Amino acid sequence: MTEIVMSQTPPILHGPSEKERKYDRQLRLWAASGQSALESANILLVNSGSGVVGVETLKNLVLPGIGRFAIYDEACVNEADLGVNFFLDDSCLGKSRSQSLTELLLELNPEVQGTWYPNESVEALESVLASSPVFTVVMYTHPISPKQLSLLEAYGQEHKTPLVAIHSAGFYSYFQINLPGAFPIVDTHPDETATTDLRLLSPWPELVAFSEGLTKDIDNLDDFEHGHLPYVMILLHYLERWKATHDGKYPATYKDKTEFRRMVQSAARTNNPEGGEENFDEAAAAVLRTLVYPSLPSGLKEVFEYQHTDPVEQRSGFWIIADAVKKFYDKHQCLPLPGKVPDMKAQSKVYIQLQSIYKAKARKDAAEILETVRSMPGGQNIDPAEVELFCKNAAFVKLINATGGKISRADRLRAVADQEFSSDQTAELTLSPLSLLPIYLALQPTAHMTGLYSSSPDANAAANAISADEILRGVAELVPGAEQNERVIQAAREVARAGGGELHNIAALTGGMVAQEMIKIITKQYVPIDNTCVFDGVASRCQVLRL
Amino acid sequence: MTSDEVYPGSEPARWVYLDRIRTRPGPFTNPDVFDGSAVAKAMESMKVLVIGAGGLGCEILKNLALSGFKDIHVIDMDTIDISNLNRQFLFRQADVGKFKAEVAAAFVEKRVKGVKITPHNCKIQNFDEDFYMQFQLVVCGLDSIEARRWINATLVNMVDEDVEDSYKPLIDGGTEGFKGQARVILPTVTSCIECQLDMHAPRAAVPLCTLASIPRQPEHCIEWAHVIAWDKEKPFPTLDKDDPEHITWLYQKALARAREFNIPGVTYSLTQGVVKNIIPAIAATNSVIAAACCNEALKIASNCAPFLGFPDDNYMMYSGNDSIYTYTFKHERKDDCPVCGQQARPLPNVDPAWTLRELLDSLAERPEAQLKKPSVRAEGKTLYMQSPPGLEAQTRPNLDKTLTELGLVDGQEIAVTDPAFATVTFKFRLRFK
């Protein structure tokens, strides 16, 4: 109802609302749909250790207006917390860390709700999970006890909740996203320049007719008309001329295309005051980019070939539409037309006509797919807007976490380690950066050492001293032989140096990356990592690995 | 083992995690320059300057305060706007309208005991070299290229080979949407911001004739309202881009023009975006980039690990749109950098038939120049001066002469100055097409 009333109100009377003004800079990234997904989300942080990285993540989610969050943290605030955590101050000393953090985070955005555990009524993590409304995402920080971890993993499986593990120590960090199944994204926001799809080598009748109408007398057009022909028309026209002298074939090879480009360039008029024509320059520049046959992009190919293991997942809107798009592709050997025309030199009227020819074709393709969708089981209730969005983005649809559990986590880690270490041996030759897997490996042995983070100022206090040798022994259990790798040894020494404590900068940086990923998962926009991101604060770079 | 010893500064219990790292060497620490026993004390007496108290600046102040710096200054001339609150986490609704530097400084001082933050609610150009000389490090979180170029030129100019203290490392961050970059500039040692200017090319301007007669995009209609209709009708004495009434006027003009040409897509939000050149910004990306900058600040100040700028990599590019990708590399110094180089920078594709005005207009748009109010000399001869008014009037006729008429030849060196960078003379070498 509100929608209708709003659109009838003259535009002058409704500028942006207070909320639209506050969130303006982010609405330009994920629009109202993304915002409403954020506002419906409910996040749990299970916090431990020196406890900063998860809180920095939450800060970056509370500010853009996440619906609600909860912090589970058994620690009480100590002196060391105040040197590393910004959302605690002197008045918090000795109090429950989860409560203090929650209260100070809530100050950031009055629209967000937050709770903390343990509290007077709910104490154990188990009861938190049992008594709360379902969480959208659960994140936990290392070190975490194996018992709590298995509780969270069981919860994630039962509720199909994504789990995010985060570990930050000294200059190092990583985080790992554990999605409950294949995760498709339609609204991937590809770079504007990549999305041009003009179908110049397979024009449809309406486009051909429009182009012929404008160019049939091309050599007799006056300078203004000639200089304002849209480059799409120029290319279509000269492609026909090319075909006439090349057995009816389009320019196919690189050599053909450069020759064709010269043909276009030489057709520009130069006896005018400007000494050339901008639209012909645009046409020449577009030759290599736009004279391509439609092909199936790898992301969509993966979607088409995906073997379902979960019948419930298969009946979702995404997969039904994907099936219909596949049928369309099999029939026409091309994807539905996205329908967007880039800006180009042209008269207003001609450009708008051209634009509407592309839009009409895009609507027609989408309508055909919608019809297929409707004829499929479960396709009756699918929102036409969802079909339209899929058609518009078909070439950029991505599937994350596609291959499921055929190989065990432990085996996969070893396989990846083999691959990374062997590519490191040629890294110097190929000028590629060295693997950051050693950092991940060196952090693993401390992942469950909940006593490690002890904040005793004595560096050698038993509780926080873990030696590089101990770390390497742990690495050897995970990936036999890796403990002898020089870079693993260095990483182990760096991890030992931190003694389980966080550096604020690395926690803040990692919290920023994790928050970006959470936003992508919650809004189903942009492309999340698949599935582990390691950061090296010594070299200031990261690497994404599929572990 | 002595190398395992921690050397705490004041309040050892509070800074235990930081001290373990900054006062003990790690496997990558250079033992020749690292002295763990001196770090904490040295950092406590360092003065750090933060430029910008916005999205990045708020994060930077927090990060520096929690990295063991005790004496921080911050400069920002802006006041708090409601659209800042989605990421500038030191500000609240009740702070709207107050100075950013002041509110941010007070907040961090209150939260982190023992840190002193001095705010300056003004432009960076209000201070001279003596002011900048007092700092050991400068960290920038700015949204303006012009301000970056200014502070860069100032810090490069301040270098005196004989005075070790005259080298001020400049750490610079920038973000747009899910992307950003962090870079370290060691003046006259590494590539500087001016060397890297073409990596931050301005958006190409739409030709005036498109706006005036053949609009095709909603942006063209908005620019028409902004550039042409406003000047013609002057609905208010001066355009205030933050005044909703002014934006509404532009929006309605643009909308009417779009209807006339059947162009869809003009909205209030787009109007505001185009007119104010709004760059999308979120807390998460600011968090990444500001922390990357402050991580370098900590490493530079303590030598506890190698930092960007020496010996190789000096630039980290970050992109979070499609998975996460960083590219950390060495951006090479340019001999023809107008600020830190020795030679004139080539200016290719110059047409000798251009008027001087056309050459000057091209300087504004060329990624390697980006000078909006240029004055030009060649071989000691003044071709055009923006000021003083007398000289401007005398040189104005040259604007309509062609380069050939002015006697400029292929390969000629020209010297360009711009009031935005008063201390710099940009030397270019004309290359005719």
Nearest CA in chain B to A488: B27
Cβ–Cβ < 8 Å for B297, B171: yes
Give me the mean pLDDT over the B99-111 stretch: 98
DSSP structure class, residue A297: -
Q: B7 vs A407, which has greater pLDDT?
A: B7
CA distance B24 to B36: 6
Q: Per the CB < 8 Å rule, is B287 touching A189?
A: no
Q: From the candidates A166, A168, A505, which should be mutated to test the interface with B, based on the most B CB atoms within 10 A?
A: A505
* Residue in B19, B287, B323 closest to A60 by CB: B287
Tell me the C-alpha distance between A198 and A235, whole Å. 11
- Residue B120: strand pairing partners: B75
Task: Give the domain A18-187+505-545 fold.
Answer: Rossmann fold (3.40.50)
Mutation pick from A401, A509, A517, A545 vs chain B, by most beta carbons of B within 10 Å, is A509
> Is the bond into B244 cis (omega within 30 degrees of 0)?
no
Sheet of B413-417: strand order equals: B345-350, B426-432, B413-417, B375-378, B381-384
DSSP-based three-state secondary structure for B51: strand
d(CA B260, CA A514): 47
Which residues is A42 bridged to in the sheet? Answer: A68
- Contact flag A83-B16 (C-beta cutoff 8 Å): yes
Q: Which residues contact A313 (CB under 8 A, 6 or more apart)?
A: A181, A182, A319
Closest residue by Cα to residue B200 from B164, B175, B230, B233: B175
Among chain B residues, CA nearest to A512:
B284
> Mind telling me how many Å the CA of A355 is from chain B's nearest CA?
10
Amino acid in the structure at residue A205:
P
Q: Which residue has the tokens 């006062």?
A: B23
Per-residue pLDDT for B305 more than 70? yes
- Number of CB atoms found within 10 A of residue A196's CB: 13
Write out the E strands in B142-232. 170-176, 179-185
The single-letter code of the amino acid at A408 is S
- Cβ atoms within 10 Å, residue A42: 17
In angstroms, the separation between the Cα of residue A509 and the nearest Cα of chain B is: 4
* pLDDT grade for B197, boundaries at 50, 70 and 90: very high
Task: Please give the structure tokens belonging to residue B53.
Answer: 């108290």
Considering only the C-alpha atoms of chain A, give the largest distance between any 2 of them, rounded to a whole number of Å: 91
CA dist., res. A115 & res. A96, Å (int): 12
User: Residue B180 CB: number of other CB atoms within 10 A?
Assistant: 24
Name the token pair of B102: 């002041």
Distance CA B36, CA A403 (A): 48
pLDDT, residue A8, reads 42
CB-CB contact of B403 with B354 (8 Å): yes
User: Cα(B92)–Cα(B80) distance, rounded to whole angstroms?
Assistant: 9
Among residues B122, B192, B195, B209, the one annotated as catalytic is: B209
Give the closest of A18, A348, A538 to B216, CB-based: A348
**CA neighbours within 13 Å on the CB side: how many for A465?**
9
Q: Where are the domains of chain A?
A: 18-187+505-545, 200-290, 298-400, 409-499
A506 in Cβ contact with A520 (< 8 Å): no
B393: Cβ–Cβ under 8 A, 6 or more apart, which residues? none
Q: What is the signed CA dihedral for A74, A77, A78, A83, rounded to 10 degrees?
A: 120
Residue B274 identity:
V
Q: Which residue of B has its CA nearest to A516?
A: B284
Residue of A279, A287, A235 lying closest to A256 (CA atoms) = A287
CA-nearest residue of chain A to B64?
A505
Judge whether B1 and A66 are in contact, CB under 8 Å. Answer: no
| Residues with Cβ within 8 Å of residue A7, at least 6 apart in sequence | none
- The pLDDT tens digits along chain A (547 residues) read 333 444 444 445 567 899 999 999 999 999 999 999 999 999 999 999 999 999 999 999 999 999 999 999 999 999 999 999 999 999 999 999 999 999 999 999 999 999 999 999 999 999 999 988 899 999 999 999 999 999 999 999 999 999 999 999 999 999 999 999 899 999 999 988 888 899 999 999 999 999 999 999 999 999 999 999 999 999 999 999 999 999 999 999 999 999 999 999 999 999 988 889 999 999 999 999 999 888 899 999 999 999 888 887 778 899 999 999 999 999 999 999 999 999 999 999 999 999 999 999 999 999 999 999 999 999 999 999 999 999 999 999 999 988 756 788 899 999 999 999 999 999 888 888 999 999 999 999 999 887 665 555 554 454 457 899 999 999 999 999 999 999 999 999 999 999 999 999 999 999 999 999 999 999 999 999 999 999 999 999 999 999 9
Please identify among residues 381-440 of chain A the ones whose CB lies closer than 8 Å to any CB of chain B: 433
Separation of CA B48 from chain center: 18
**What is the model's pLDDT at position B256?**
97
Q: Choose among B209, B166, B52: nearest CA to A274.
A: B209
**Contact A232/A346 with Cβ under 8 angstroms?**
no
Contact A537, B28 (CB under 8 A): no
- Cross-chain residue pair A343–B216, CB shorter than 8 Å: yes
Residue B277 clears pLDDT 80, i.e. is over it = yes
Residue A458 pLDDT: 53
Structure confidence at residue B3 (pLDDT): 61
Q: Is B209 assigned a catalytic role?
A: yes
User: Cβ contacts of residue A498 below 8 Å, gap of 6+?
Assistant: A169, A170, A171, A172, B17, B20, B21
| Helix axes B55-65 and B283-302, enclosed angle (nearest 10) | 40
> What would the DSSP string read from start to end of B138-169?
EEEE-S-HHHHHHHHHHHHHH--TT-GGG---
Please name every residue paired with B384 in a beta bridge, in sequence order, or none if there are none: B376
Cβ under 8 Å to A: B residues 333-392: none
Out of A455-459, B173-177, B199-203, B257-261, pick the least confident. A455-459
Q: Which residues of chain A lie closer than 8 angstroms to B27, CB-CB?
A: 489-491, 493-494
Which residues numbered 273-312 in A keep a CB inside 8 Å of some CB on B?
Answer: none
From CA A13, how far away is CA A5, in angstroms rounded? 12
Q: Which chain A residues are closer than 8 Å to B85 by Cβ?
A: 22, 63, 109
DSSP A187: B
- Confidence (pTM): 0.94
Single out the residue of B419, B83, B317 nearest to residue A542, CA to CA.
B317
Long-range contacts of A245-248 (CB under 8 A, 24+ apart): none
Contact (Cβ atoms closer than 8 angstroms) between residue A105 and residue A150: no
Q: What is the ipTM of this complex?
A: 0.94
